Structure 1
Amino acid sequence: TEIEFSSRGEWKDVDGKHTALPTSFIPAQIINALRAQHAGQSIVQIERKRRGYKVELSSGLEIQFDSRYQIVGYDD
């Protein structure tokens, strides 16, 4: 697992290298949205962006969330 931190000590990017990440540090709203719409998929990478988050699932699907934790886009 590779973790990149900001200058303030907050995580910016956590990459599990295709291995499921623990979810304790991921906002609950993101976890809930993924459980509802992508049940059975694990988060293998999450990146904190300026205006939201980018999450990569074990299937390779990338999901964009805005700052209110709403899904705003997909990329595969």
Structure 2
Amino acid sequence: MSLTTLVVWALIIAAAVLVARAYRREGTDGRAVTAPGPGLGKGEDLLATRFASGEIDEEEYKRRLAVLRSHAPKPTLP
């Protein structure tokens, strides 16, 4: 009886973890969030997505991209 209870609880916890992971991967609009492309930071990736979807025009994209890049941390040399 206790082994069955343990297995049931393990399944419930595993299901909860899987649901939490799946929920966390979705953006606020329901689309899956992807990792940024090579060389892009999270802000630049989001900005590129907004430009591609037509939310912002080219002028605003370039202006905001310049601001993001001017405030980006500089890479450190080993």
TM-score range, shorter chain: under 0.3
TM-score for the superposition, normalised by structure 2 = 0.25
Structure number with higher helix proportion:
2
Higher Cα radius of gyration: 2
Structure with more of its chain in strand, by fraction: 1
Higher relative contact order (CA 8 A, sep 6+): 1
